[in-house]
Amino acid sequence: MCRRYARGVLSPYVPDLGALEVLLTVAQEGSLGAAARAYGVSQPAVSARIRGIERLVGFAVVDRGTRGSTLTPRGALLAEWAQAVVDAAHELDAGLDALRSDARARLRLAASLTLAEQLLPEWLARWRVRHPEVHVSLTAGNTGETARRVLDGEADLGFVEGPVLPAGLSARPVAADRLVVVCAPGHPWARRRRPLTVTELAAAGLVTREATSGTRAAFEQSVRAALERSGITAPVLQRPVLELSTTSAVRAAVAAGAGPAVISALAAGDDLAAGRLVEVPVAGLDLSRTLRAVWPRGQRPTGPARDLLALVGTAERPVSG
């Protein structure tokens, strides 16, 4: 029997927003247990929410198996509709948050050094034209420090460059970058006619950032992967000759002859153009990387953070050397 309801009045068979978000998390994570971990609750609690949805709508929405949980065909259709509802609710929440903001609004940012020094100044200058009333603070550090500030609630939005997304964070690409091997003009590598091999690079004593730097992590991951593809199953990188806490210090040390380094093409651009540094080609090594905005998992940026992310979120293009 078909029942009619007055315009604007939902039937009693529509799950609430919290239940719909649980359903979407199960679909994304692939199991009830993984969804429970994402929410920080027990698996029985997630199972109970799913059973509640099924009782309410009158059909099974999840197939539970030994290898995980998948949506039934009707559950997948419900999830598709639910995504639109949840997205609309987040839009409403963000709009209300924007209405509550006033002249004392603030935006706290944390970023790894490449982004803080090379990209965010331009992004923030463009953003400030539309939001002159918002007080902005930016704290620069390495990727690990940036992730900690975001997770601890010390920053509303973070920007990182590491190859692995830190635990507990969601991310969105905001730019593409590549790393380059650089040396001083007087270094023997500057006069090479052939590209370096990955083995030569791995065996060289380099000037590097600290171990928790996203740039260093991306470089070491790429080198190890390239060596393993060549049949070197236990690749060992040479110990750095210097470990420095900022990219500008690395550039200065390289220019002074301390040794070669691997740094962002964004950071090296001016020194390469002026001849203070020389780029050294490396054969068979992909040093491209994605730079990302991050925020706590299970949340969405709101207010000024959401507006900044909307401005920078489409700037995903490669950086030339």
Q: All domains of the chain, ordered by start, with CATH? A: 17-100 (1.10.10.10), 106-174+290-312 (3.40.190.10), 177-289 (3.40.190.290)
- pLDDT of 218 reads 87
- pLDDT of 44 reads 87
Phi, psi dihedral angles at 288 (to 5 degrees): -75, 155
Confirm if 207 and 252 have CB atoms less than 8 A apart: no
Contacts for 310 with CB less than 8 Å, ≥ 6 apart? none
Name the burial class of residue 234, with classes exposed (0-12), middle (13-18) and buried (19+) by CB atoms within 10 angstroms of its CB: exposed
Name the burial class of residue 139, with classes exposed (0-12), middle (13-18) and buried (19+) by CB atoms within 10 angstroms of its CB: middle
- pLDDT of 263 reads 93
- pLDDT of 315 reads 46
- pLDDT of 235 reads 64
Q: Where are the beta strands (DSSP E) in 101-254?
A: 106-112, 135-141, 157-160, 169-183, 207-209, 242-244
Distance CA 314, CA 195 (A): 34
- pLDDT of 2 reads 46
Distance CA 234, CA 256 (A): 33
Confirm if 308 and 108 have CB atoms less than 8 A apart: no
Distance CA 37, CA 55 (A): 24
Q: CB count, 10 Å around CB of 288?
A: 13
| Helix ranges (DSSP H) in 168-295 | 198-203, 214-229, 247-255, 265-274
Cα 313 to chain centroid distance, Å, stands at: 11
Q: Token pair 């002026």 is at which residue?
A: 274
Torsion region of 194: left, alpha or beta (phi above 0 gives left; psi -120 to 50 gives alpha): beta
Cα 12 to chain centroid distance, Å, stands at: 40
Low-confidence ranges of the chain (pLDDT < 50): 1-2, 4-6, 102-103, 314-321
- pLDDT of 313 reads 60
Pairing mode, strands 106-112 and 157-160:
parallel
- pLDDT of 151 reads 95
What 8-state DSSP symbol labels residue 5? -
